[in-house]
Amino acid sequence: MKTATIAHAAYSTFVEQVKAQKVQRATVRPHRIDYSLKPAVGFKRFYTTPPAGKAEDIKAMLRQHQVDVVIPADNTGAVAGAMGLLLSTGALVGTLAWLFKNSPDNEAMGLNKTKARPYGPGQSQRGRKANGKTGVTFADVAGVDEAKQELKEVVDFLKDGAKYRQIGAKLPKGVLLVGPPGTGKTLLAKAIAGEANVPFFSVSASEFVEVYVGVGASRVRDLFAKAKKQAPCIVFIDELDAIGKSRGGGGPNNGNDEREQTLNQLLTEMDGFDDNSGVILIGATNRPEILDPALKRAGRFDRQIIVDRPDRSGRLAILRVHARQVTIAADVDLTEIATQTAGFVGADLANLINEAALLAARNNRSAVTMADIYEAMERVMAGLQLRSRILSPIERQTVAYHEVGHAIVASLMPGATQVSKISIVPRGKGALGYTMQTPAEDRYLMLEDELRGQLATLLGGRAAEEVVFGKVSSGASDDIQKATDLAERAVTQYGMAADLGPIAFVDTQSEFLHRSSSRRPMSGEVAVEIDRQVKQLIHQAHDIAKAILVLNQALLQAMAQTLLAEDVLEGKQLQEMLLKAQAPVNTQIWVAKGNKV
Ligand code: ADP
Ligand code: MG
Ligand code: ZN
């Protein structure tokens, strides 16, 4: 969708909001005023406005209306700029940290040797914890409980391999951590090493790729040779996409040859050690879609673990982890900060706390106050918004109503699958939010009213936008695509349009073979009728969705507000809210109409 930015406000709007006591705090800078609204007023987010008049006058006005005036640190501009740069390369930050950690020891290194070395027991390494662990445990990683749970199994295997071997169970050879930058993939891998108390070889895939052909491949070979000697152990390959890109793409230049050789060597090595060798390979990537499919095949990285952006409670947990490391003043409300940091990943939150601590120190305070955190938040957020990771308040609202629209319609539809979760934590490309439906059973047959119910559910998102805002966004394009496909199939394959009867209008045989359906030869008249029927199905579904949401507008509002506050709605809370949804009388008529479209 669109690129999000801090919401811009006219100066006059700003003054009005100040006078109406709506502004919580403002930072007056030479060329802009950044401010946030009080929680009660709409959605508390950040705005910026060009100042009109002298800074002193503006500040006087702000104080007069009890606005919290934040004094910007003297070098704000420079710091914010640098921050933006650092933030925009979350992956790079990880790599840099890795480089520092791995800066050359006394040990001489051959070009063909891997730079990876174990942090494991028996390896006396400078600066490393004496107990030989990475020093990171699962307690340091928060907000990614599902990923942690899965990884605990891996740790268990390393601790107690005999138990698994005895029963004949095989653990996946390779575990691939997949998720956006900064969500804690590298951290999780370190935590595993810390928990399992086995040697941990860490390497960034980018270091395999050197200028000289063949170097990468021999480094891979060397790495695995070392690892096998120290088994049980973990080999962690970070930023796997650096070598794991799909082969065959691009021209036959040197760089690609080198990368391919390296990748081939990695594949060979993965196939070469058997499941019980005690070597577990963990990879991490932000870009699973570009990985060579061969890497994901069975016996290689055959288990993917998603490390996703945290929701509100996840963010709170992460904030708690990082707040432990600094002195926090009594006025700091981490729950409030978690609420206001939608879209932040773990690395952003760590950054936020650190920035706030720097501010406090710079101002000679002994503890980090809420004001420090707010000021830091403005900086971090500005950087994130540049990369459109943060939705503007308007976008968040739109997404929230849209998703709740799907859920309410789904809850009333015949044969509806239960909505188990609604989320407005953006994930992946394109998906700004999602509604998860869990079917009660596997379905192979869809009844006509169920099909209509699905259509209405698909259009429920768009309908909610219309009902609430009176206008629509581009956010429903995927729903519309799906709905159109489904309606088209209903008419041309399932024979659900009475006027046309049970005639197949597409050749599904060829569909399976060629993956694209082709219409059978037909008269122009029939083609027009098909289009008309498809259109009618869609329109009826849309009308139903809209009727439902108009009737349930209060519920729609309440649920969207809760969703905006919490980021997710699930479990009992969600079910109780959905129970309040009422079906309009004409839903029955619609369903009872049967085949007559
Ligand atoms: P990734 O590898 O996914 O890009 P990292 O593991 O390198 O992210 O995270 C960078 C830093 O951000 C970590 O060292 C940690 O300080 C912080 N961080 C990220 N995710 C989390 C998390 N889930 N819990 C606690 N801290 C986190
Ligand atoms: Mg990383
Ligand atoms: Zn949708």
* Cα–Cα distance measured from residue 135 to residue 194, given in angstroms and rounded to the nearest whole number: 6
User: Is there an atom of ligand 1 within 6 Å of 318 CB?
Assistant: yes
The residue whose two tokens read 């870009």 is 287
- Which of the four pLDDT bands, split at 50, 70 and 90, describes residue 91? very low
| Averaged confidence pLDDT in the chain | 76
**Residues 44-55: tens digit of each pLDDT:** 456 777 777 788
Closest CA to ligand 1's atom 15: 347
Among 72-86, 308-322, 502-516, the minimum mean pLDDT is found in 72-86
Mean pLDDT of 537-550: 93
Token pair in block for residue 421: 């979760």
Token pair in block for residue 54: 């002298």
Tell me the CA–centroid distance for residue 356 and ligand 2, in Å. Answer: 23
Q: Are 98 and 202 in contact (CB under 8 A)?
A: yes
- Between these two residues, 588 and 520, which has the higher pLDDT value? 520
Q: CA separation (Å) from 338 to 315, 328, 331, 379, 459?
A: 5, 15, 15, 16, 32
Tell me the CA–centroid distance for residue 539 and ligand 3, in Å. Answer: 17
- Which of the four pLDDT bands, split at 50, 70 and 90, describes residue 4? very low
Ligand 1 closest atom vs CA 142:
24
User: Is there an atom of ligand 1 within 6 Å of 347 CB?
Assistant: yes
Tell me the CA–centroid distance for residue 404 and ligand 3, in Å. Answer: 9
User: Is there an atom of ligand 1 within 6 Å of 413 CB?
Assistant: no
- Which of the four pLDDT bands, split at 50, 70 and 90, describes residue 221? confident
Mean pLDDT of 574-597: 66
- Between these two residues, 328 and 379, which has the higher pLDDT value? 328
Q: Are 440 and 410 in contact (CB under 8 A)?
A: no
- Between these two residues, 403 and 290, which has the higher pLDDT value? 403
Could you tell me which of 483, 486, 528, 526 has the C-alpha nearest to residue 505?
526
Ion ligand 3 neighbours, Cβ < 5 Å: 461, 479
Percent of the chain topping pLDDT 90:
25
Q: Is the pLDDT of residue 496 over 70?
A: yes
**b/e 43-67 (16+ beta carbons within 10 angstroms → b):** bebbbbbebeeeeeebbeebeeeeb
**Residues 228-257: tens digit of each pLDDT:** 888 888 889 998 888 877 665 544 444 567
Mean pLDDT of 528-538: 89
Mean pLDDT of 384-398: 77
Among 28-42, 84-98, 217-231, 581-595, the minimum mean pLDDT is found in 84-98
Q: Which of 195, 378, 403, 488 is catalytic?
A: 403
Closest CA to ligand 1's atom 14: 187
Tell me the CA–centroid distance for residue 417 and ligand 3, in Å. Answer: 16
Q: Is the pLDDT of residue 5 over 70?
A: no
Mean pLDDT of 124-144: 64
Helix (H) or strand (E) holding 523: none
- Which of the four pLDDT bands, split at 50, 70 and 90, describes residue 488? confident
Among 2-6, 36-40, 264-268, the minimum mean pLDDT is found in 2-6
Q: With the C-alpha atoms ordered 106, 110, 111, 112, is the resulting torsion angle positive or negative? A: negative
Helix locations, 296-421, DSSP H: 312-323, 334-340, 346-362, 370-386, 393-412
* Cα–Cα distance measured from residue 355 to residue 383, given in angstroms and rounded to the nearest whole number: 13
Our answer to whether residue 260 is catalytic in this structure is no
pLDDT of residue 153: 83
Tell me the CA–centroid distance for residue 3 and ligand 3, in Å. Answer: 19
**Residues 137-151: tens digit of each pLDDT:** 899 999 998 889 888
pLDDT of residue 275: 62
Token pair in block for residue 127: 């600066």
Q: Are 498 and 595 in contact (CB under 8 A)?
A: yes
- Which of the four pLDDT bands, split at 50, 70 and 90, describes residue 507? low
Mutate to test the pocket of ligand 1, among 93, 134, 187 (most ligand atoms within 8 A of CB): 187
User: Is there an atom of ligand 1 within 6 Å of 185 CB?
Assistant: yes
Among 10-14, 214-218, 311-315, 360-364, the minimum mean pLDDT is found in 214-218
Residue 108, judged by CB atoms within 10 A of its CB (0-12, 13-18, 19+), counts as: exposed
User: Is there an atom of ligand 1 within 6 Å of 314 CB?
Assistant: no
Q: Is the pLDDT of residue 119 over 60?
A: no
